[in-house]
Amino acid sequence: MSKNLFEKVKKLNLPKGEYAIFASGPLGIRNIRECRDIDLIVTEDLFEKLNNNPDWKYGDFERDGRIFPHLEKEEIEAYKTWGPEEWDIMKLIKEAEIIDDLPFVRLEEVLKWKKISGRDKDIEDVKLIEDYLIKQKS
């Protein structure tokens, strides 16, 4: 499933340097676990361009009492902000790791976010990521 999702992102032909794949995507590309959807962090400019495209549906995502505007297209969601804490979206995009011609938020940053989020699925992912990182070092 993950591979098909990454192909869908490629077909969007999004401008390089204006987005990165976050959340479970960096796990899926490394076969740490399957991802069922793609969460993109995008620049303000790209968010506005996508918002003006009728193929993308606007919505608000509520989490921890905060509202996050996002756009949806099939199994892909685009965010111009990320929580639960404030994240420097531009820094995450700039430092993204390119894998198979797609930009992914660095796994160390995903690990930080998963630890902060603390949801059950995030706690499970923390263990998977830490195990993966240990194996990579050995």
Encode pLDDT of 12-27 as tens digits.
Answer: 999 999 999 999 999 9
Query: Structurally, how many domains does the chain consist of?
Result: 1
80-105: b (≥16 Cβ within 10 Å) or e = bbbbeeebebeebbeebbeeeebbbb
Residue 46 within a domain: yes
**pLDDT of residue 54 exceeding 90:** yes
Using CA atoms, how far residue 137 sits from 39, 109, 132, 134, in Å, is 27, 17, 9, 5
Lowest mean pLDDT among 22-26, 34-38, 118-122: 118-122
pLDDT of residue 4: 93
What does the pLDDT read at residue 61?
74
pLDDT at position 44 over 80: yes
Percent of the chain with pLDDT over 70: 99
Is position 17 within any domain?
A: yes
Mean pLDDT, the chain, rounded, equals 93
Residue 63 pLDDT exceeds 90: no
Domain assignment of residue 30, given as a range: 2-107
pLDDT (mean) for 4-12: 96
State pTM to two decimals: 0.94
Residue at 42 is within a domain: yes
Residue 138 three-state SS: coil
**In a domain? residue 25:** yes
Report the pLDDT value the prediction gives residue 62, as an integer from 0 to 100. Answer: 79
d(CA 35, CA 38): 7
Is residue 76 situated within a structural domain?
A: yes
pLDDT digits over 65-115, tens only?
778 889 999 999 999 998 777 889 999 999 999 999 999 999 999 999 999
Q: Is position 124 within any domain?
A: no
Does residue 37 fall inside a structural domain? yes
Q: Per the domain annotation, does 32 fall within a domain?
A: yes
pLDDT over threshold 60, residue 1: no
CATH of the domain at 47: 3.30.460
Nearest Cα neighbor of 56 from 71, 76, 38, 77 is 71
Answer yes or no: are the C-beta atoms of 43 and 89 closer than 8 Å: yes
